[in-house]
Amino acid sequence: MKRKIVFSQFLTVFILIACQPPVTFDKPQPIDVTELQRFPDRLFGEFRSEEDNSILYVTEKTLVRIYDFYNKTHVSLLDSTVQLIGDSLFDLETNEGTLVQIEGDSVVKHIYETDTLFVINQKNVLKKFKGYYFLNMNINPDIWHVQKLELQKGKLILSSINNREDIDQLKTITETMQDTVPYIFSPNKKQFKVFVRNEGFRTQEAFFKIKE
């Protein structure tokens, strides 16, 4: 069995980017709602995730997440494609080296990753509805990934549709018979409103405002 360096947070981000979400829509949601050209000033700032201490930066046009942490791995668990020489970890395929710290029998590597979660442009649409902001990301023609964003007393909550309860509710509300992943829903404005009011977007992550 191949031995691997496990960078759990980095792998999570990679999986989310690489895999199409289980629930998509055929149009930006909600329909018949005017698109916003920028995030409001009240959302601007830096927010720290309560899950992994990553930082979410909100600007006029973007949501950018920064992962900045140290990963400690025992030398026996290093992948066969890398080699530790002195204080550097070399990729044997690219011959590129990365400085690391040696602590006993372990290697400590600094991980710094930037993940642009959303940027307002021709392919990504921002809408506001019933006090919430909806981030519509165009994956393919007529396929949109939608997330919900809200600000509550300095806490920014980013929500997605990933669990079975959300899927079943959408299928009922929209009378969708599809039973394969990814699901593609076509709710009207009223149906989407019902979904949101019935606690749709149950997968949530909270970010707390960093005081300036």
Could you report the per-residue pLDDT of 111-170, keeping only the tens digit for each? 899 999 999 999 999 999 999 999 999 999 899 999 999 999 889 999 999 999 999 999
Beta bridge partners of 36: 126
* pLDDT tens figures, 106-121: 999 988 999 999 999 9
CA angle (176 as vertex; 17, 19 as ends), nearest 5: 10
If we measure between CA atoms, which residue out of 174, 160, 149, 142 comes closest to residue 28?
A: 142
Does a cis peptide bond (omega within 30 degrees of 0) precede residue 187? no
The answer to whether residues 136 and 105 touch, using CB atoms and an 8 Å cutoff, is: no
- Whole-model pTM? 0.81
Please name which of 102, 116, 105 lies closest in space to residue 16, comparing C-alpha atoms.
Answer: 116
